[in-house]
Amino acid sequence: MAAKSAPLTLPGLAGKIVVITGAARGQGCAEALVLLASGAHVIATDLNDACPSTLEKAAAKLPGELHYAQLDVTSEADWSALAQFLKKEFKQVHGLVNNAGIPFRGRIGEISRVDWDKVFSINVTGAMLGIQAIAPLMRKGASIVNIGSSAGLNAHHTVAYTASKWAVRGLTHVTATEFGPRGIRTNIVHPGYIETEMMAAAPAIMTDAQLTLTPLERTGQPEEVAAVVAFLLSDSAAYVNGAEIPVDGGFTSSAGVKYMSDIIKASQQKK
């Protein structure tokens, strides 16, 4: 995929009103651009007061409409203000992407209660508050996409982050079950190692290990996650509900077996 070229466009998204959290940069920003390129009306939200100029500039060339709102996902008051604005302005919302999330690299035995609570309040409670605030504005055909992580499918040592992403899976399945009868779908996407600012601080040794364990033998780009999120928001995914989709180059599918296979192959080649 030509990740840095013009954003991909997907059918079935034109005119849809979609809220994205943590959209100022990284995957949230890439998701906003794919949706805008596909003609959607995007409400990009993040912690800062102002929309980042990079997003604003890129959006100006695309057919969809961009609206930016300051929103801390942990704040019920922020969610309530956004819901009131959306009700007044658009009457309904077609999509919600619970993308905002923070990593925390502490291990079990060393993580403090304060850090544990902070990770859970953003990664889990933030998504739950978003669903509670926005779902009342959704009608039949609407779609919620939660952003999990490959860490939510395995035992990554970052205990608070890993446990929080496992919790978001639970939230996804409950929501898919509760809202299914209303015609509202909920799914979760699990990115693997994606090149964003979040991963810029990852130790080089971790990147090397990740590549050793990933069948595609490369890291991913935010645009590659955004394409799958946009598909789940679109009507093309009309019968996809409660699904978990890894976007990780085969990392979680392989479950470490690539490493074993590679060392066996290398030892056989030596003989």
- Any idea which residues carry the catalytic annotation? 161
Nearer to ligand NAD, 12 or 215 (CB): 215
**According to the binding rule CB under 6 A, does residue 221 interact with ligand NAD?**
no
Instruction: Report, in Å, the least distance between residue 151 CB and ligand NAD.
Output: 7
21 binds ligand NAD (CB under 6 A): yes
Closest CB to ligand NAD among residues 81, 102: 102
Rounded Cα gap, residues 248 and 241, in angstroms: 20
Q: Would you count residue 187 as binding ligand NAD (CB under 6 A)? A: no
Interface residue with ligand NAD, options 43, 100, 119, 229 (CB under 6 A): 100
Q: Is 252 in the site for ligand NAD (CB under 6 A)?
A: no
Are the C-beta atoms of 34 and 110 separated by less than 8 Å?
no
Show contacts with ligand NAD in window 137-176 (CB under 6 A).
147, 149
Binding mask 54-93 for ligand NAD (x = CB under 6 A): ------------------xxx-------------------
The answer to whether 228 contacts ligand NAD (rule: CB under 6 A) is no
Q: How far apart are CA 260 and CA 241, in angstroms?
A: 35
CA atoms within 13 A on the CB side of 140: 2
Measuring CA to CA, which residue among 149, 141, 115, 143 is closest to residue 131? 143
Q: Do 126 and 74 contact (CB within 8 A), yes or no? A: yes
Q: How far is the CB of 234 from ligand NAD (least distance, A)?
A: 20
Which residue from 7, 64, 191, 249 is in contact with ligand NAD, where contact means CB under 6 A?
191
Q: Which two tokens stand for residue 17?
A: 């009103």
Spatial separation of the C-alpha atoms in residues 176 and 242, rounded to whole Å? 5
Of 68, 94, 96, 98, the C-alpha closest to 15 is: 94
Q: Does 95 bind ligand NAD (CB under 6 A)?
A: no
Which one among 38, 99, 162, 221 touches ligand NAD, defined by CB under 6 A? 99
Q: Is 214 among the residues that bind ligand NAD (CB under 6 A)? A: no
Question: With contact defined as beta carbons under 8 Å apart, do 43 and 64 qualify?
Answer: no
Smaller CB separation from ligand NAD, 10 or 147 = 147
Q: How far apart are CA 163 and CA 167, in angstroms?
A: 6
Site for ligand NAD in 109-128 (CB under 6 A): 122, 126
Q: Which is nearer to ligand NAD, 39 or 95 (CB)?
A: 95
Q: Is 26 a binder of ligand NAD (CB under 6 A)?
A: yes
Cα–Cα distances (Å) from 1 to 5, 8, 37, 222, 223, in that order, read: 9, 10, 16, 11, 9
Q: Say what angle helices 257-270 and 204-213 make with each other, to 10 degrees.
A: 80
Task: State the nearest-atom distance from the C-beta of 174 to ligand NAD, in Å.
Answer: 19
Q: What is the DSSP string of 182-225?
A: GT-EEEEEEE-SB-SHHHHTS-HHHHHHHHHH-TT-S-B-HHHH
Residues that bind ligand NAD (CB under 6 A): 21-22, 24-28, 46-47, 72-74, 99-102, 122, 126, 147, 149, 191, 193-194, 196-199
